[in-house]
Amino acid sequence: MKTHNWKSNYFSTLETEIDKIKEEGHYRVFNNIERKAGQYPKATRHHEGNTEEIDVWCSNDYLGMSQNKHVISAMQSAAEKLGAGSGGTRNISGTTNFHIQLEKEIAALHQKERALAFNSGYSANESALKSIISAFDNCLVLSDELNHASLIEGIRGSKKEKAIFRHNDVKHLKDILQGVEFSRPKIIVLESVYSMEADFAPLEDVIEVAQDNGALIYLDEVHAVGLYGPNAAGVAEQKGVAEHIDIINGTLAKAFGLAGGYIASSNTIIDFVRSFSKGFIFTTSMCPAVAAGSLESIQQVKQNTEVRDSFFENVTFVKSQLRSAGIPFLDSGSHIIPVLIGDSKLCKQISDYLLDEHQVYVQPINYPTVPKGTERIRITPTPCHSEEATEKFVEALKDAWLKFMPLLSKFENDFAGKVKSI
C-alpha cells in the first residue's frame, strides 16, 4: 500500500477553486439566523458565540405566510395525523390526500387541467423541462438570456438545440425563428418576473410569436405566484393570457411561504412528466405537513386580498424612501428592488456593514447569480415591515452608501442608463 497522501491532490484542486472565488469576492457565507415566529421580520442572529436581534430585508417570504397562524396550524395538524415524513416516492407510498388536494388547488389556481408538486421549484424546472424537451425529435428551445439556472439546466439536460434570445427582446426572438419550419417542434422558455432585473416579460408579444411559429410556451412564475392577478396566480393571470401558456412553473417557497415547487398544465403533459421525469419518479415526496401547509397558504392568499394590497403599498413606500435618500435602484415596476453595486467585494462589505453596524440583513447577490460587474443587494419588502423598520433600514443603507461612495463612484457611469434615482 502506498503511504503518501494521494488524496491531497484532489483536495488541493478543489481548494484552489475555492480560493479563486474568495479572491474575487464572491465566496458565500451562511448567516446563522432564526426568524421569530409572529414577529417577522425580526430574527435572532447567532455570530461568534453571541446573539443579537436583526431585521431581515432579503427574504423571499414575500407575504410573511410562513408566519400565518392558519398555515402553522395546518402543518401541525398534518404532522400529528400522519407523522413527519411521507415515507416514500409518489409511486411508492408517498402520495397522501394532502398531496392530491394540493395539486388540485394548484391546477385550479392556474386554470389548468392538472398540476404536479415537486420538492423545489428548481427540481420542477430541471426535471420537467428535461423530460418534455427530450420527448420531441429535433426540438428547438428558445431561452431568454437571463433565465434562472434551473431552466438552463433542464434545457441543457435535454441535449436538444438551444437558441438564446436577448432579454425580453421579442424582435430578436422573431429573428431567430425566421426560416425555421412551422412543423419543427419548438419550446419558448422564459420567466414572468426576473428577480435580478426586477422586470416583467412581454407575455402578450411572446404568445403572438409562439402562435405564429407553432411553439409551446414554458413560463416560470415563481416570483409572481401569490402576488399578481385577481386570484394571485401570477402575471399570466393578471394579463389575462394564462390560457395561452402551455406549462406554468411555480413555487410554494416564496409568496406562499413554505417549500416546494410545481408545474401546472394539461392532463397529457402532466401525465407525461409524472411518468418519465426521473427527478420526480426517484425523489421522496414532500412531507405531508408541507403539503398541508402549502394548501392552506394558497387558500389564505386567494381569500385575503388585503395582505397583497398591504404588500404592494409597502413596496411603493420603500421605493419612495430610497428615492428621498438618494439611493439608486432598478425600478422596472415589480416588487423586487435591486440596488446595484457593481463590485463583488464592495457588495459583500456593504452587506456586512449593514448587518454588523445596523443589524439589518440584506444578502449580497454576486456571481454566478448575476454576471460579474453587476453585483447588487436585493431588497424585498413585505407587509410585515413597519414604517419604523423601513425608515431605520433606509437610514442604515444611506449611511453605508455615504461610507462606501468613494469606492462606488467608478461604477456610476456603467449603470447610469439603468438605475433610477433622484
Look up the CATH number of the domain holding residue 339: 3.90.1150.10
Q: Does 268 lie in the same domain as 160? A: yes
Q: Does 284 lie in the same domain as 380? A: no
Backbone torsion region of residue 111, taken as left when φ is above 0, otherwise alpha when ψ lies between -120 and 50, otherwise beta = left
Burial group, residue 261, by CB count within 10 angstroms (0-12, 13-18, 19+): buried
Report in angstroms the alpha-carbon separations of 83 from 55, 101, 118, 287. 33, 18, 19, 9
Distance CA 126, CA 121 (A): 9
Q: Strand, helix or coil at 81?
A: helix
pLDDT at 417: 46
List, for residues 282-327, the tens digit of each pLDDT value: 999 999 999 999 999 999 999 999 999 999 999 999 999 999 999 9
Dihedrals phi, psi of 186, to nearest 5 degrees = -145, 145
Distance CA 108, CA 88 (A): 26
Domain presence at residue 19:
no
Domain presence at residue 216:
yes
Host domain of residue 367: 32-61+305-415
The verdict on pTM exceeding 0.85 is: yes
- Taking 3-state DSSP, the helix, strand and coil percentages for the chain, each rounded to the nearest 5, stand at 45, 15, 35
List, for residues 202-242, the tens digit of each pLDDT value: 999 999 999 999 999 999 999 999 999 999 999 999 999 99
Question: Which residues face 284 on adjacent strands?
Answer: 89
Q: Does 330 lie in the same domain as 188? A: no
Contact by Cβ (8 Å): 129, 218: yes
Contact by Cβ (8 Å): 284, 94: yes
Domain presence at residue 350:
yes
Strands 247-251, 216-220: parallel, antiparallel or unpaired by DSSP?
Answer: parallel
Instruction: Quote the DSSP letter at residue 91.
Output: T
> Which H or E element spans position 216?
strand 216-220
pLDDT at 419: 44
Domain presence at residue 133:
yes
Q: Does 282 lie in the same domain as 324? A: no
Q: Does 155 lie in the same domain as 52? A: no
Which of 288, 303, 318 is at the close of a domain? 303
Q: Does 86 lie in the same domain as 226? A: yes
Which of 303, 336, 351 is at the close of a domain? 303
Domain presence at residue 171:
yes
Question: Which residues face 361 on adjacent strands?
Answer: 56
Domain presence at residue 292:
yes
Q: Strand, helix or coil at 172?
A: helix
User: Which segments of 303-359 are extended strands (E)?
Assistant: 337-340
pLDDT at 196: 86
Contact by Cβ (8 Å): 178, 163: no
Which of 282, 303, 324 is at the close of a domain? 303
> Which residue reads 427574504 in cell numbers?
59
Question: Which residues face 143 on adjacent strands?
Answer: 164, 189
Round the CA-based radius of gyration of the chain to a whole number and report it.
22
Q: Does 332 lie in the same domain as 254? A: no
Q: Does 239 lie in the same domain as 101? A: yes
Q: Does 99 lie in the same domain as 54? A: no
Neighbouring C-beta atoms of residue 20, cutoff 10 Å: 11
Distance CA 250, CA 254 (A): 9
Report in angstroms the alpha-carbon separations of 46 from 33, 51, 67, 360. 6, 5, 21, 14
> Which residue reads 409568496 in cell numbers?
255
Report in angstroms the alpha-carbon separations of 91 from 101, 275, 280. 16, 10, 10
Domain count, the chain: 2
Distance CA 189, CA 154 (A): 10
Question: Which residues face 339 on adjacent strands?
Answer: 377
Closest CA relative to residue 346, chosen from 419, 287, 401, 290:
401
Q: Does 75 lie in the same domain as 185? A: yes
Distance CA 136, CA 119 (A): 26
In sequence order, which ranges of 178-304 are alpha helices (DSSP H)? 203-213, 235-238, 267-276, 278-281, 288-303
For residue 76, the domain's CATH number is 3.40.640.10
Q: Does 334 lie in the same domain as 267? A: no
The residues of the chain scoring below 50 in pLDDT are 413-422
Question: What amino acid positions are annotated as catalytic residues?
Answer: 254
> Which residue reads 478543489 in cell numbers?
14
User: Which segments of 105-201 are extended strands (E)?
Assistant: 114-118, 140-144, 161-165, 186-191, 193-194, 199-200
Q: Strand, helix or coil at 55?
A: strand
Distance CA 107, CA 7 (A): 51
Domain presence at residue 4:
no
Q: Does 349 lie in the same domain as 273? A: no
pLDDT at 133: 98
Distance CA 129, CA 152 (A): 9
Domain presence at residue 420:
no
